[in-house]
């Protein structure tokens, strides 16, 4: 029991120190602001969240197995509620004016909204799995088959702490949504390349095609019809990909549109040169 108590306080104190460090960064002038900005974008945000989310659970598991994992989660929740309480107590005026969870509590019920928000936290392991896949799995595809590379910081970042009026409870959950939306969107973008490269075949279910075209735009206008043949697929692939391509992106990717625009301009430019020569 003493070991569990020591583990709890050790993890809680380490989390409090980390959160305090993030809050104190602006006080260190330009250097602090640069570090703070770096921590808001991948890979900085990855390291910050590893410290806050994964490190306590890993330490707890190594120290005391599943009991240690539970202790780590308790330390994380305690630190989170301590931060929410302090942040809301120091921003009382903003809190009185308006806040999101109070408004939604009126609309759907206070405890229903509160419980629903916490249920979404169960998805955190899924988003971490997606992020780790982006870091570990996808880069090999950019090397082996030249799927396009992405600058993760354009997708995986947080900025809602700069939005005026977000306090405590609202702020922490908006930052969570900020992070998970970027992670999911980058994962979807990578999957577009994977699907169009390996399996550009429409589904027999028209409804599924309609639903999936939101995230996979190629499905309707570019992929081979469900009643087509493998020969149709090979023809499509040979028309969309060449050995000379530096990047093999999904068919509606902006990079392809730029290439198309450039290639369509070349004859016009050549024609203008010929006219000048005449």
Reported as a single tens digit per residue, the pLDDT across 142-174 is 999 999 999 999 999 999 999 999 999 999 999
Cα 54 to Cα 127: distance, rounded to the nearest angstrom: 12
Q: Measured at the alpha carbon of residue 30, what is the angle toward residues 29 and 36, in degrees to the nearest 5?
A: 90
Residue 34's pLDDT is 96
Residue 80's pLDDT is 97
Give a three-class secondary structure readout of the chain. Answer: CHHHHHHHHHHHHHHHHHHHHHHHHHHHHHHHHHHHHHHCECCHHHHHHHHHHHHHHHHHHHHHHHHHHHHHHHHHHHHHHHHHHHHHHCCHHHHHHCCHHHHHHHHHCHHHHHHHHHHHHHHHHHHHHHHHHHHHCHHHHHHHCCCCCCCHHHCCECCHHHCCCCCCHHHHHHHHHHHHHHHHHHHHHHHHHHHHHHCCECCCCHHHHHHHCCCCCHHHHCCECCCCCHHHHHHHHHHHCCCCCCCCCCCCCHHHHHHHHHHHHHHHHHHHHHHHHC
pLDDT at residue 77 is higher than 80? yes
Residue 221's pLDDT is 86
pLDDT category of residue 237 using cuts at 50, 70 and 90: very high
Residue 277's pLDDT is 37
Region 116-134: mean pLDDT is 97
Who contacts 74 (Cβ-Cβ below 8 Å, separation ≥6)? 8
Who contacts 204 (Cβ-Cβ below 8 Å, separation ≥6)? 226
pLDDT > 90 fraction of the chain, expressed in percent and rounded: 86
pLDDT category of residue 245 using cuts at 50, 70 and 90: confident
Residue 82 CB burial class (10 angstroms; 0-12, 13-18, ≥19): middle
Map out the domains of the chain as residue ranges.
1-90, 97-198+241-278
Cα 250 to Cα 257: distance, rounded to the nearest angstrom: 11
pLDDT category of residue 42 using cuts at 50, 70 and 90: very high
Stretch among 10-19, 144-153, 266-275 having the lowest mean pLDDT: 266-275
pLDDT at residue 269 is higher than 60? no
Region 62-78: mean pLDDT is 97
pLDDT category of residue 2 using cuts at 50, 70 and 90: confident
Cα 45 to Cα 48: distance, rounded to the nearest angstrom: 5
pTM: 0.87
What's the mean pLDDT when you consider all of the chain? 91
pLDDT category of residue 257 using cuts at 50, 70 and 90: low
Region 103-127: mean pLDDT is 95
pLDDT at residue 271 is higher than 60? no
Cα 88 to Cα 96: distance, rounded to the nearest angstrom: 10
pLDDT category of residue 218 using cuts at 50, 70 and 90: very high
pLDDT at residue 261 is higher than 70? no
Task: Using alpha carbons, select from 157, 152, 154 the residue that is nearest to residue 37.
Answer: 157
pLDDT > 70 fraction of the chain, expressed in percent and rounded: 92
Region 200-209: mean pLDDT is 96
Residue 254's pLDDT is 85
């Amino acid at each position: 029991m003493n070991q569990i108590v020591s583990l709890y306080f050790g993890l809680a104190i380490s989390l409090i120190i980390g959160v305090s460090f993030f809050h104190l960064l602006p006080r260190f002038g330009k250097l602090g602001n640069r570090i703070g900005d770096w921590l808001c974008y991948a890979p900085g945000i990855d390291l910050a969240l590893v410290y806050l989310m994964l490190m306590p659970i890993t330490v707890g598991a190594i120290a005391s197995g599943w009991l240690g994992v539970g202790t780590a989660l308790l330390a994380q929740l305690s630190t989170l509620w301590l931060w929410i309480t302090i942040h809301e107590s120091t921003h009382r005026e903003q809190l009185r004016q308006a806040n999101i969870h109070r408004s939604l509590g009126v609309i759907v019920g206070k405890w229903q909204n509160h419980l629903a928000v916490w249920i979404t936290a169960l998805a955190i392991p899924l988003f971490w799995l997606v992020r780790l896949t982006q870091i570990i799995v996808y880069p090999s595809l950019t090397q082996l088959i030249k799927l396009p590379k992405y600058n993760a910081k354009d997708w995986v970042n947080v900025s809602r702490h700069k939005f005026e009026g977000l306090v405590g409870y609202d702020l922490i959950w908006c930052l969570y949504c900020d992070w998970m939306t970027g992670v999911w969107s980058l994962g979807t973008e990578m999957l577009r390349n994977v699907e169009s490269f390996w399996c550009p075949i429409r589904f027999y279910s028209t409804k599924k095609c309609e639903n999936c075209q939101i995230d996979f735009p190629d499905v309707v206008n570019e992929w081979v019809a469900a009643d087509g043949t493998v020969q149709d697929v090979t023809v499509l692939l040979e028309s969309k990909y060449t050995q000379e391509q530096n990047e093999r992106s999904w068919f509606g990717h902006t990079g392809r549109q730029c290439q198309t625009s450039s290639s369509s301009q070349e004859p016009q430019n050549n024609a203008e040169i010929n006219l000048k020569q005449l």
